[in-house]
Amino acid sequence: MDIKVLGPGCAKCKQTEKVVAEAVAETGVDAHIEKVGNPLDIAKFGIFATPGVVVDGKVKISGKVPTIDQVKTWISEAN
């Protein structure tokens, strides 16, 4: 599983990274988490409000920090 956290490194982006990492750890899924900070790379996903989360190429959220339960749902849907 490939999970991308999109954002330049603001507080909400860092919080999103933490939430994603916690959800992956709690579910025990084998996932690669990548931080994408380049605005051009972020825009390629059609996201213009950060933070954003992309799971296996699909945008799951943009412009707000997800909950751990939301991330767990995305992980279970992708498996």
Q: How far apart are CA 53 and CA 47, in angstroms?
A: 10
Q: Which residue is it, tokens 């959800």? A: 23
**Catalytic positions:** 10, 13
Supply angle C-alpha 15, 19, 22, rounded to 5: 135
Asked if 37 and 9 touch (Cβ cutoff 8 Å), the reply is yes
